[in-house]
Amino acid sequence: MTSARRCSRTACGRPAVNTLTYVYADQTAVLGPLATYAEPHAYDLCEAHSERLSAPRGWEVMRLAPDPSTLEPSSDDLLALADAVREAARPAAPVAQTDGLQTETGRETTRRGHLRVLSSD
Ligand SMILES: [Zn+2]
């Protein structure tokens, strides 16, 4: 990987910053981060030509943010948190799955893993 990628437009020798990929099945031109390897129907574009990009008539142009995974925190943590909240908010499990902790006042205590759900009066 020593050769610099160049814009594929005719008479343009500027460094390529984006890769334009034509998705013929969807009639969509996808402009995204520089592809790591050459694909068919993919063209490297410099910044100027990326901005002036025009798709064929009837086509849509989809512009992808430059690698969102590096700009935003991973959603895994949020998903895990959401799962934990849902787990805690779940209605009491069927009696067969509880540890049988039931007081004489009718309050049930259900253990779910390390979580304990107490019914409120
Ligand atoms: Zn160019």
* pLDDT for position 2: 46
7-30 burial string, b = 16+ CB within 10 Å, else e? Answer: bebeeeeeebbbbbbbeeeeeebb
Q: Reduce the DSSP state of residue 91 to 3 states and report it.
A: coil
In angstroms, what is the span from residue 103 Cα to ligand 1's centroid? Answer: 75
Q: Reduce the DSSP state of residue 119 to 3 states and report it.
A: coil
In angstroms, what is the span from residue 71 Cα to ligand 1's centroid? Answer: 26
Reported as half-sphere exposure (CB side, CA atoms, 13 A), residue 48 has a value of 8
Q: What is the pLDDT along the chain (121 residues), one digit of tens a residue?
A: 446 789 999 999 999 999 999 888 999 999 988 887 767 788 999 999 999 988 889 999 999 875 555 555 556 766 777 777 777 777 765 555 555 555 555 555 555 566 666 666 6
* pLDDT for position 68: 53
* pLDDT for position 107: 55
Q: Which residues contact 57 (CB under 8 A, 6 or more apart)?
A: none
In angstroms, what is the span from residue 21 Cα to ligand 1's centroid? Answer: 15
Residue whose pair of structure tokens reads 């989809």 in the numeric block: 62
* pLDDT for position 61: 92
Residue whose pair of structure tokens reads 């050459």 in the numeric block: 38
Say how far apart CA 98 and CA 25 lie, in whole Å: 53
Torsions phi, psi of 104, nearest 5?
-70, -20
In angstroms, what is the span from residue 25 Cα to ligand 1's centroid? Answer: 26
